[in-house]
Amino acid sequence: MSNQPKYQQPLSAIYTELKTDEHGLATADAKQRLEQYGKNALNQQKTTSILQKFIAQFKDFMIIVLLVAALVAAFSGEVVDAIIILMVVILNAIFGVFQESKAEEAINALKEMAAPDATVLRDGQLQTVKSDELVPGDVVSLEAGDIVPADLRLIESASLKVEESALTGESVPVEKNAATLEAGDLPIGDRLNMAYMNSNVTYGRANGIVVATGMHTEVGRIAGMIEAADETTTPLQANLTQLGKSLTILILVIAAIVFGIGMLRGSESLIDMLLTAISLAVAAIPEGLPAIVTITLALGTQRMAKRHALVRKLPAVETLGSTDIIASDKTGTLTQNKMTVEKLVVNQKLVDARTTELPIDSHLAQVMILSNDTKIMTDGLAGDPTETALIQYNLDQGYPVDQLLADKPRVNEVPFDSERKLMSTVHPLEDGRFLVAVKGAPDELLKRVTQVETDGTVSPLTKPVRDQILATNHDLATQALRVLAFAYKVINVIPETVNTDTLENDLVFAGMVGMIDPERPEVEQAVTDAKSAGIRPLMITGDHRDTAEAIAARLGIIEAGNDAAVITGAELDAMSDEQFDKQVSQYSVYARVAPEHKVRIVNAWQKRGKVVAMTGDGVNDAPALKAADIGIGMGITGTEVSKGASDMVLADDNFATIVVAVEEGRKVFANIQKAIQYLLSANLGEVLTLFMMTMLGWQILAPVHILWINLVTDTLPAIALGVEPTEKNIMKHQPRGRNSNFFSGGVFSSIIYQGLLEGGITLLVYWLALTYPVHATASMAHADALTMAFATLGLIQLFHAFNSKSIHESLFTVGLFKNKFFNWAILIAFAMLAVTIMVPGLNSLFHVSHLDAYQWGIVVVASLSMVVVVEIVKFFQRRHMRQA
């Protein structure tokens, strides 16, 4: 086939190339071509079974490390530890499968959108065939209400309008015609002689020749882009993978050192040193971390669902919190996706439509209603969005629309025509005469106007008045308003021949309306909130430049008149990738763009290390939604394709919900960071204690001690940190960005000093108990020292959990007891620790002795000192941050 775009080729060339004509194909020829080209259907994406999804959860590096640890523990006799680790891993996998099983397949959703049947000319006769049997060369007939079944080059068109918002982002149906276009590189929305697969016919009729089917259509091209898009790794996944690798190396090094030194000293057997090394591994691995992360994310998804943000993939919760850029589609996301009358020109004055009520006998209102093809249904209005907006305005004003239509039924008309850009209807009056109601493009209508109505008085239309009307029309158009003019006249009889020449002349100008797809009322504040959080909102739309710029200025995305911040798809095409990558930060509004442009924009920001969230509702948004770090689909107006390609869906289509979700994401990250700081500092304390006791030749804590401490402190308290309330001013901070990790913001240094502090305090208590024993015998003194070290190591971690309620803020500022779940978690954990020492039978099972009040006093005071020291360090950290 020719490489020249079909919209540029004359019909004769297309007929020759496809070996057909305006009468279509023969049935036998169509059957042969079906075998040659294949079915007019999109490739169906391979489905993944529940078992495959479950197995895929075990590919994570941290999970593999934990599985190895479970095997080592099981072969070493630590069966309980192995079971706990396996339970954590399985729980994590179940959560992951549960979330991913909710996903709709994007390619299959595209297939579901396709028209089931098509009206086609075969053997010179109109036939109804299944749309997947269409082939290039077929001639398809279109009428209002049809879904376009393939990509068509129009042969003939009668007032055809096609709604292409799913492909282009434009909310207003496009007027089509069959004329050959000369311009090259036209965006989809400007290809007026083409009708594309899965778009909707809203008005008129047409015939078109099939020029592309299946995966060769524009929708098929988008499906291919979705299929080819790589899955992005979220910051959370990258952080956890890096953390797992670092911990594994650290664990192996420490265990090897301890094992080697122990064997060199010769005081311990091979089995004893192997158990010691395993104890170190058990102490160092935060086996509860995957479950804590998963549970924190899952609880975050529940809270977000209550606020209308539905998460399809768990890591998306946290990714939102690191978002730098929100690239948003305009239609249906920033705007309401419905045309609304905003301005009126009545009595030669420009007024706000929302605060102006037209008189009951207003000719402007009457023409708006009568020269209109909108159908008033029980469940709403049906018709062209521009026309339904006119009816809706009058209904909102309380105008008796139904009564007017009943009193003045349409008896004749001159239908809308894209060349003359007018529509006229004729209606009977009570005195036997007829009202001609005309609407259309202001410049075309004014050519047929001779008079103007002002405050009920009709006077000749003078040149100054005409110039004023045209100037007002221009001003409204520059504000991205769609302007329609209205006129009327009264005639005694209907002409024998009703056409534009006999009816549309000597008209009386009644007024104009300016309509727009208005911004959602909550979005302006959401944009302000996003900016205050350091997030840059972008508008990406298929709409015209002027419309996009006007809406962006009204929302605060750009300053009014900042034309340099706006770029079109054609201008983007003229730039190389290197040039665009350098200049991407200059642009905040992208107009008249194609799907590949959106992906290019997302990729350009990602190259700068930015975390990009992309919102959208149309088929054309799907590739970019998948390419973005987090794709956000619209639940109400969104296509199943866009929802299927998204990580999160907004149930209320409310842009403001994204800001809420970002706050929740930041909270989730902060809480996971708190849990990681708590777990790793506690585990470092355990490792340091075991390491130093081994080096000093002291009686070492047994694996059962470490296991129990981990069970007590690494579960409930750490999970409780994951549900801490949101800290104040969390949305006043700059995004942490792609390069940040869980150790950023002073967390790594805190883990080190806090772990050293925990281990040091524990060793100090052990040394005090040995140096100043309560019991005279050495064996009992060792037993008491070991018990006090065990109690201190456990209790100090529980007190440290209070420190971890905030990375930098004071415990007393955050609040001691605001988190009820945390309070219960600490109480339960303390009880679990205490019973092993206090309950007869259990203390012998755990190889610990009974402590008296004096010994408990030392343990409690030593453990509380952790809180005091950390509070002092935090005080100096906050002062340093303020000075910086």
CB 81 within 8 A of CB 704: no
Residue 303 burial (C-beta neighbours within 10 Å; 0-12, 13-18, 19+):
middle
71-110 burial, b at 16+ Cβ within 10 Å, e below that, comes to: ebbbebebeebbebbbebbeebbebbbebbeebbbbbbbb
Give the DSSP letter of residue 541. -
User: Dihedral through CA 240, CA 244, CA 245, CA 246, nearest 10?
Assistant: 100
What's the rounded Cα separation, in Å, for the pair 821 and 27?
72
- Rounded CA gap, 864 and 860, in Å? 6
- Looking at the chain, the number of H-run helices and the number of E-run strands are 34, 26
738: alpha, beta or left? (left if phi > 0; alpha if psi -120 to 50): alpha
Beta pairing partners, 153: 194, 209
Of 329, 373, 714, 784, the catalytic one is 329
Query: Contact 190/413 with Cβ under 8 angstroms?
Result: no
Structure token pair of residue 297 = 């994310």
Contacts of 514 (CB under 8 A, 6+ apart): 341, 342, 343, 344, 345, 353, 476, 479, 481, 482, 483
Question: How crowded is the C-beta side of 641, counted as CA atoms within 13 Å?
Answer: 28
Interatomic CA distance for residues 584 and 540, integer angstroms = 13
Contact partners, residue 246, CB within 8 Å, separation at least 6:
none
* CB neighbour class for 301 (10 Å; exposed up to 12, middle 13-18, buried from 19): buried
Name the maximum alpha-carbon separation found in the chain: 126
Beta bridge partners of 376: 381
Q: Tell me the three state secondary structure of residue 430.
A: coil
| Neighbour-count burial of 64, counting CB atoms closer than 10 A to its CB (0-12 exposed, 13-18 middle, 19+ buried) | middle
Catalytic site includes residue 581: no
**Residue type, position 254, single letter:** I
CB atoms within 10 A of CB 648: 28
Nearest CA among 242, 230, 252, 236 for reference residue 72? 252
Tell me how far apart the alpha carbons of residues 439 and 422 are, in angstroms, rounded to a whole number. 6
Q: What residues act catalytically? A: 329
